[in-house]
Protein backbone atom coordinates (compact mmCIF):
# COMPACT_ATOMS: atom_id res chain seq x y z
CA UNK A 1 0.00 0.00 0.00
CA UNK A 2 0.99 3.62 -0.58
CA UNK A 3 0.22 5.46 2.62
CA UNK A 4 0.27 9.09 3.79
CA UNK A 5 0.25 9.79 7.53
CA UNK A 6 0.04 13.35 8.82
CA UNK A 7 1.59 14.45 12.10
CA UNK A 8 4.34 11.86 11.58
CA UNK A 9 7.22 13.56 13.38
CA UNK A 10 6.29 12.18 16.82
CA UNK A 11 3.72 10.28 18.85
CA UNK A 12 1.10 8.14 17.16
CA UNK A 13 1.96 9.35 13.66
CA UNK A 14 5.63 8.40 13.84
CA UNK A 15 4.99 5.06 15.56
CA UNK A 16 2.33 4.17 12.99
CA UNK A 17 4.52 5.25 10.05
CA UNK A 18 7.37 3.06 11.28
CA UNK A 19 5.11 0.08 11.97
CA UNK A 20 3.48 0.19 8.54
CA UNK A 21 6.82 0.86 6.86
CA UNK A 22 8.32 -2.15 8.60
CA UNK A 23 5.38 -4.23 7.34
CA UNK A 24 6.43 -3.44 3.78
CA UNK A 25 4.17 -0.54 2.87
CA UNK A 26 5.43 2.59 1.13
CA UNK A 27 4.83 5.24 3.79
CA UNK A 28 5.09 9.01 3.51
CA UNK A 29 4.99 10.97 6.74
CA UNK A 30 3.82 14.59 6.58
CA UNK A 31 4.82 17.05 9.30
CA UNK A 32 6.16 20.55 9.60
CA UNK A 33 9.42 19.13 10.99
CA UNK A 34 11.09 16.28 9.13
CA UNK A 35 12.58 13.31 10.98
CA UNK A 36 15.06 10.62 10.04
CA UNK A 37 13.74 7.08 9.76
CA UNK A 38 14.75 4.13 7.59
CA UNK A 39 11.15 2.91 7.60
CA UNK A 40 9.30 5.82 5.99
CA UNK A 41 9.95 8.99 4.04
CA UNK A 42 9.46 12.15 6.08
CA UNK A 43 8.24 15.19 4.12
CA UNK A 44 7.96 18.79 5.31
CA UNK A 45 4.29 19.62 4.82
CA UNK A 46 2.10 22.12 6.65
CA UNK A 47 -1.43 20.75 6.29
CA UNK A 48 -2.93 24.20 6.84
CA UNK A 49 -1.21 25.27 3.59
CA UNK A 50 -3.19 23.93 0.62
CA UNK A 51 -0.48 24.59 -1.97
CA UNK A 52 2.13 22.73 0.10
CA UNK A 53 -0.20 19.73 0.42
CA UNK A 54 -0.95 19.64 -3.29
CA UNK A 55 2.74 19.82 -4.22
CA UNK A 56 3.64 16.96 -1.86
CA UNK A 57 0.78 14.75 -3.04
CA UNK A 58 1.66 15.44 -6.68
CA UNK A 59 5.26 14.43 -5.99
CA UNK A 60 4.13 11.15 -4.43
CA UNK A 61 1.74 10.40 -7.29
CA UNK A 62 4.42 11.10 -9.89
CA UNK A 63 6.33 8.12 -8.58
CA UNK A 64 3.73 5.85 -7.01
CA UNK A 65 0.75 6.53 -9.34
CA UNK A 66 -1.69 5.87 -6.47
CA UNK A 67 -2.46 6.58 -2.82
CA UNK A 68 -4.19 3.76 -0.97
CA UNK A 69 -4.50 5.13 2.55
CA UNK A 70 -4.54 8.53 4.23
CA UNK A 71 -4.33 8.74 8.01
CA UNK A 72 -5.34 12.23 9.11
CA UNK A 73 -3.49 12.17 12.41
CA UNK A 74 -2.14 15.73 12.70
CA UNK A 75 -3.93 17.85 15.27
CA UNK A 76 -3.59 19.83 18.46
CA UNK A 77 -5.37 20.24 21.76
CA UNK A 78 -6.77 23.37 23.37
CA UNK A 79 -7.57 23.97 27.03
CA UNK A 80 -9.25 26.78 28.87
CA UNK A 81 -12.68 28.17 29.66
CA UNK A 82 -15.04 28.83 26.77
CA UNK A 83 -15.59 32.42 27.92
CA UNK A 84 -11.85 33.14 27.99
CA UNK A 85 -11.02 31.70 24.57
CA UNK A 86 -10.17 34.15 21.80
CA UNK A 87 -11.32 34.03 18.21
CA UNK A 88 -7.70 33.75 17.09
CA UNK A 89 -7.15 30.66 19.27
CA UNK A 90 -10.37 29.02 18.09
CA UNK A 91 -9.57 29.63 14.42
CA UNK A 92 -6.03 28.27 14.84
CA UNK A 93 -7.42 25.09 16.37
CA UNK A 94 -10.12 24.54 13.73
CA UNK A 95 -7.72 25.41 10.92
CA UNK A 96 -5.56 22.43 11.86
CA UNK A 97 -8.03 19.93 13.31
CA UNK A 98 -10.77 20.42 10.73
CA UNK A 99 -9.68 22.46 7.72
CA UNK A 100 -6.28 20.79 7.49
CA UNK A 101 -7.83 17.33 7.58
CA UNK A 102 -10.36 18.30 4.90
CA UNK A 103 -7.62 19.73 2.68
CA UNK A 104 -5.73 16.45 2.97
CA UNK A 105 -8.81 14.46 1.95
CA UNK A 106 -9.42 16.80 -0.98
CA UNK A 107 -5.86 16.28 -2.16
CA UNK A 108 -6.00 12.46 -2.27
CA UNK A 109 -9.62 11.85 -3.34
CA UNK A 110 -9.10 12.49 -7.10
CA UNK A 111 -6.45 9.76 -7.21
CA UNK A 112 -8.60 7.39 -5.15
CA UNK A 113 -11.53 7.96 -7.52
CA UNK A 114 -9.30 7.25 -10.52
CA UNK A 115 -8.21 3.98 -8.93
CA UNK A 116 -11.76 3.15 -7.81
CA UNK A 117 -10.75 2.65 -4.21
CA UNK A 118 -8.97 3.99 -1.18
CA UNK A 119 -9.14 4.36 2.57
CA UNK A 120 -9.05 7.39 4.88
CA UNK A 121 -8.83 7.33 8.66
CA UNK A 122 -9.65 10.58 10.42
CA UNK A 123 -8.19 10.49 13.92
CA UNK A 124 -10.84 11.82 16.28
CA UNK A 125 -11.32 11.66 20.02
CA UNK A 126 -13.67 10.00 22.47
CA UNK A 127 -14.03 13.58 23.70
CA UNK A 128 -15.76 14.50 20.44
CA UNK A 129 -18.87 12.72 21.72
CA UNK A 130 -19.34 15.09 24.65
CA UNK A 131 -18.44 18.65 25.61
CA UNK A 132 -15.51 18.21 27.97
CA UNK A 133 -15.02 20.87 30.66
CA UNK A 134 -12.23 23.29 29.75
CA UNK A 135 -11.78 21.47 26.43
CA UNK A 136 -14.96 22.69 24.77
CA UNK A 137 -13.38 23.86 21.53
CA UNK A 138 -11.20 20.75 21.22
CA UNK A 139 -14.33 18.60 21.58
CA UNK A 140 -16.08 20.83 19.04
CA UNK A 141 -13.27 20.63 16.48
CA UNK A 142 -13.18 16.84 16.61
CA UNK A 143 -16.98 16.61 16.60
CA UNK A 144 -17.00 18.74 13.45
CA UNK A 145 -14.53 16.34 11.84
CA UNK A 146 -16.81 13.44 12.81
CA UNK A 147 -19.78 15.00 11.03
CA UNK A 148 -17.71 15.71 7.93
CA UNK A 149 -16.59 12.06 8.01
CA UNK A 150 -20.19 10.88 8.16
CA UNK A 151 -21.22 13.16 5.30
CA UNK A 152 -18.36 12.32 2.97
CA UNK A 153 -18.96 8.59 3.37
CA UNK A 154 -22.20 9.05 1.40
CA UNK A 155 -20.48 11.16 -1.23
CA UNK A 156 -17.60 8.80 -2.10
CA UNK A 157 -19.21 5.37 -1.65
CA UNK A 158 -19.74 4.80 -5.39
CA UNK A 159 -15.97 4.88 -5.91
CA UNK A 160 -15.30 2.21 -3.28
CA UNK A 161 -13.61 4.73 -0.97
CA UNK A 162 -13.95 3.95 2.72
CA UNK A 163 -13.63 6.62 5.39
CA UNK A 164 -13.88 6.27 9.16
CA UNK A 165 -13.40 8.31 12.32
CA UNK A 166 -11.19 6.62 14.88
CA UNK A 167 -11.98 8.02 18.33
CA UNK A 168 -9.05 7.74 20.72
CA UNK A 169 -8.95 8.04 24.47
CA UNK A 170 -5.90 9.42 26.27
CA UNK A 171 -2.73 8.30 24.53
CA UNK A 172 0.74 8.61 26.03
CA UNK A 173 2.16 11.21 23.63
CA UNK A 174 3.68 14.73 23.86
CA UNK A 175 0.31 16.31 22.98
CA UNK A 176 0.44 18.53 26.08
CA UNK A 177 3.52 20.31 24.71
CA UNK A 178 1.64 21.62 21.67
CA UNK A 179 -1.71 22.49 23.24
CA UNK A 180 -3.19 25.93 22.91
CA UNK A 181 -3.63 27.09 26.51
CA UNK A 182 -6.04 29.95 26.91
CA UNK A 183 -5.37 32.44 29.67
CA UNK A 184 -7.84 31.42 32.37
CA UNK A 185 -9.63 34.18 34.27
CA UNK A 186 -10.05 34.18 38.04
CA UNK A 187 -13.65 32.87 38.25
CA UNK A 188 -12.64 29.64 36.49
CA UNK A 189 -9.10 29.23 37.80
CA UNK A 190 -9.75 26.87 40.72
CA UNK A 191 -11.77 24.36 38.73
CA UNK A 192 -9.47 24.64 35.74
CA UNK A 193 -6.35 23.80 37.74
CA UNK A 194 -8.02 20.65 39.11
CA UNK A 195 -9.21 19.55 35.68
CA UNK A 196 -5.88 20.39 34.04
CA UNK A 197 -3.87 18.36 36.54
CA UNK A 198 -6.18 15.38 36.06
CA UNK A 199 -6.03 15.79 32.30
CA UNK A 200 -2.23 15.59 32.30
CA UNK A 201 -2.27 12.61 34.65
CA UNK A 202 -4.59 10.78 32.26
CA UNK A 203 -2.25 11.46 29.33
CA UNK A 204 0.78 10.27 31.32
CA UNK A 205 -1.08 7.06 32.19
CA UNK A 206 -2.64 6.74 28.75
CA UNK A 207 -2.55 3.97 26.20
CA UNK A 208 0.78 3.46 24.43
CA UNK A 209 0.92 4.78 20.84
CA UNK A 210 2.22 1.36 19.80
CA UNK A 211 -1.16 -0.10 20.81
CA UNK A 212 -2.95 2.44 18.62
CA UNK A 213 -0.70 1.55 15.68
CA UNK A 214 -1.44 -2.15 16.17
CA UNK A 215 -5.18 -1.42 16.26
CA UNK A 216 -5.00 0.57 13.02
CA UNK A 217 -3.03 -2.21 11.34
CA UNK A 218 -5.82 -4.66 12.28
CA UNK A 219 -8.43 -2.17 11.05
CA UNK A 220 -6.83 -2.28 7.60
CA UNK A 221 -7.72 -5.98 7.37
CA UNK A 222 -11.47 -5.29 7.57
CA UNK A 223 -13.39 -5.45 4.30
CA UNK A 224 -15.98 -2.85 5.30
CA UNK A 225 -15.51 0.00 7.74
CA UNK A 226 -18.05 1.45 10.12
CA UNK A 227 -18.32 5.22 10.39
CA UNK A 228 -16.87 5.23 13.92
CA UNK A 229 -14.43 3.14 15.94
CA UNK A 230 -13.47 3.72 19.57
CA UNK A 231 -10.12 2.81 21.08
CA UNK A 232 -8.90 3.52 24.59
CA UNK A 233 -9.24 2.46 28.16
CA UNK A 234 -12.61 1.14 29.30
CA UNK A 235 -13.22 4.03 31.73
CA UNK A 236 -13.06 6.47 28.82
CA UNK A 237 -14.88 4.41 26.19
CA UNK A 238 -17.81 3.77 28.53
CA UNK A 239 -18.50 7.50 28.57
CA UNK A 240 -19.83 7.30 25.00
CA UNK A 241 -22.77 4.89 25.49
CA UNK A 242 -23.51 6.49 28.85
CA UNK A 243 -23.87 9.83 27.06
CA UNK A 244 -26.42 8.24 24.73
CA UNK A 245 -28.57 6.59 27.39
CA UNK A 246 -28.39 8.69 30.56
CA UNK A 247 -30.38 11.87 31.22
CA UNK A 248 -28.21 14.87 30.45
CA UNK A 249 -28.29 16.32 33.98
CA UNK A 250 -27.25 13.01 35.51
CA UNK A 251 -24.50 12.58 32.92
CA UNK A 252 -23.18 16.05 33.71
CA UNK A 253 -23.10 15.17 37.40
CA UNK A 254 -20.99 12.10 36.63
CA UNK A 255 -18.67 14.14 34.41
CA UNK A 256 -18.17 16.78 37.09
CA UNK A 257 -17.19 14.07 39.55
CA UNK A 258 -14.92 12.33 37.02
CA UNK A 259 -13.26 15.68 36.27
CA UNK A 260 -12.65 16.44 39.99
CA UNK A 261 -14.96 19.45 39.87
CA UNK A 262 -17.19 18.09 42.67
Q: Which residues does the annotation mark as catalytic? A: 9, 124, 138, 142
- Residue 230's DSSP bridge partners are 167
Contacts of residue 67, Cβ cutoff 8 Å, sequence gap at least 6: 2, 3, 4, 57, 60, 61, 108, 111, 112, 118
CA distance to 68, 128, 148, per residue, from 142 (Å): 24, 5, 10
**Eight-state DSSP code of residue 171:** B
Contacts of residue 162, Cβ cutoff 8 Å, sequence gap at least 6: 118, 119, 120, 153, 224, 225
How far apart, in whole angstroms, are the C-alpha atoms of residue 99 and residue 85? 19
Q: Where are the alpha helices (DSSP H) in 32-100?
A: 50-64, 87-94
CA distance to 27, 92, 105, 155, 186, per residue, from 61 (Å): 13, 29, 15, 23, 53
- Taking phi over 0 as left and psi of -120 to 50 as alpha, with beta for the rest, 57 belongs to alpha
CA distance to 1, 6, 57, 72, per residue, from 161 (Å): 14, 19, 18, 15
Number of helices (H) and strands (E) in the chain: give both, helices first: 10, 9
Amino acid sequence: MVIIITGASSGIGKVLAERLGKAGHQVYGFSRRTVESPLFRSMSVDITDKSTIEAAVAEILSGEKRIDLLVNNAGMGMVGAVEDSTGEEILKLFNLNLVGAVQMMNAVLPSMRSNNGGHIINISSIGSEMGLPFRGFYSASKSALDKVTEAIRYEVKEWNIQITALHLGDIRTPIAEARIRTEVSEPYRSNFEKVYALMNNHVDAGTAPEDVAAYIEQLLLKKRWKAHYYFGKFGQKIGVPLKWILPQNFYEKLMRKYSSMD
